[in-house]
Amino acid sequence: MSKLSINNESKLNESDQQKLRLNDQSKLSRRTLISAALILIIIPATIMLGVYVLDDRKYYFISLLIILYTMLPFALRFEKRKPQARELIVIAVLVAIAVAGRSAFFMVPQFKPVVAIVIIAAVCLGAEVGFLVGATAGFVSNFFFGQGPWTPWQMFCFGIIGFIAGLLFQKGMLQKNRLSLCIYGGLATFIIYGGIINFGSLLMGTSQFSWSALATLYISGFWFDLVHAAATVIFLLLLSRPMIEKLERIKVKYGLVE
């Protein structure tokens, strides 16, 4: 075979590889858009359906729907293959750690490690996995803390923090170092979790929206949200480095989801 044919073949291979990269990026963007639509539009609409149509009486049904929605973007990661058992086991273990951590600190209101573990899962395994771990941990742990109309709200709060963390990491706006994770974790817990759950508490408590009532809830919940945010920062300081190192080794060893 001549050098000319070899060079032409290598150029063709390079062009094919570039096309594959472009196709992968377009698939990733489509997957992200689908995930964002499900998480930011469909799931909130489902929660509102439970509040206004089902009168907060079918919270098990709404919670299971949220888990189903959460599985769809996760399944899009495996367009051309089936998920391996070890991938599902890692996710299940992360959910179990979050549930066990929340249960272990049951005596301290709002001092829980769930958000920290969800953020770690998101930056290591992706935005979709972050939402899946958060939503599932919220649902399962409430079998110990008590199921109710607040469960779908908590599932969404835990999940959306993980989803946003995964997206920010993917865009290079969030790093795997402690400082970056702690800043995001503290702000996200206080603003996103506190903001959404207090709004949900208003809708669960009254059928009529009132700005004064919402302001009262935010003021009364300030210290609870602050404790929750501080807990997230503390647990990220303690857990982020060892957990990320172990998850990265597992990813490299077994070729897990990216």
Q: What is the pLDDT of residues 10-44, one digit of tens each?
A: 444 444 444 444 444 444 567 777 778 888 888 88
Give CA–CA dist 112/168, Å, rounded: 23
Q: What token pair was written down for 6?
A: 């070899």
How much of the chain, in percent, has pLDDT values that exceed 90? 43
Q: What is the pLDDT of residues 156-188, one digit of tens each?
A: 999 999 999 999 998 889 999 999 999 999 999
C-beta separation of 50 from 152 below 8 A: yes
Of 23-32, 35-44, 135-144, 210-219, the least confident: 23-32
* Residue closest to 128 by CA, chosen among 77, 62, 192: 77
- Coil, helix or strand for 229? helix
What does the pLDDT read at residue 81?
Answer: 58
How far from 39 is each of 36, 70, 250, 257, CA to CA, in Å?
Answer: 5, 8, 28, 20
Give CA–CA dist 152/128, Å, rounded: 17
Give CA–CA dist 95/114, Å, rounded: 9
Amino acid, res. 39: I
Domains of the chain: 43-254 (1.10.1760.20)
Other CB atoms within a 10 A radius of the CB of residue 37 amount to 12
Contacts of 248 (CB under 8 A, 6+ apart): 124
- HSE-CB at 252 with a 13 A cutoff on CA atoms is 6
C-beta separation of 31 from 170 below 8 A: no
pTM of the model: 0.81
Give CA–CA dist 204/215, Å, rounded: 15
pLDDT reading at 210 higher than 50:
yes
* Residue closest to 202 by CA, chosen among 185, 219, 178: 219
pLDDT band per the 50, 70, 90 thresholds, residue 253: confident
